[in-house]
Amino acid sequence: MKIFRLIPLFLIVILLAGCGDAFKFRKVDATEFPPDPKLRVKKNMEEGRGFRLMEGINKNTTYDFASSNPLWRATLDTLDFMPLVSANYSGGVVITDWYSENNSTKQSIKISVRFLTNEIRSDALDINIFIKECLSDTNNCQITQSENELKTELALNILKKAAKYEEEGIEEYKKNNPYTVSEPNIAKEKKKK
């Protein structure tokens, strides 16, 4: 039994003996370190002396929320004048209800936006526009898929807003994290392109 008590003590002595250099006093010159605390922190982070808890741990799970996705926000802001039938963030689909200006019963429009990626690029969205044209009675209607300039204008408007939201997000991140030397994931993904 005494041997089981001695083993942990023996291990602690060995570990502390190996750390002897870490506990030695080193003379430091004050001129080597900047007087501004922000600059000192930045210098330490660049030299690898600083650390942040829980940063850089990847558990292969990402939790994106709709409010943090600039493409999603831009789409909802662009289509805010139309009533929505479905806005499913996890499925990546926004579908509007039939909409007509001036309460016209003869012609109405429906828009479907499917997200192919969360990156802001020209092929990120699959937009379908359907036009319903009715004769005098509302039972006799014909629905066609439109490929006009409205689809292009809608995609361009969404992408411009999304780029603006992403830029604002990066600026907000930099403002809230002044000591972080590395850039947020959003900016890293842009550089990879």
pLDDT in tens, 7-36: 888 888 777 766 666 556 667 677 777 778
In the beta sheet, which residues pair with residue 87?
A: 94
The whole-number pLDDT of residue 63 equals 46
DSSP-derived secondary structure for 148-190: SHHHHHHHHHHHHHHHHHHHHHHHHHHHH-TT--SPPHHHHHH
Domains of the chain: which residue ranges?
66-170
Instruction: Classify domain 66-170 by CATH architecture.
Output: 2-Layer Sandwich (3.30)
pLDDT in tens, 97-106: 998 887 777 8
Instruction: Pick out the chain residues at pLDDT < 70.
Output: 1, 17-26, 28, 47-67, 137-138, 179-193
**Nearest CA among 111, 102, 104 for reference residue 79:** 111
Quickly count: other Cβ atoms within 10 Å of residue 72's Cβ.
23
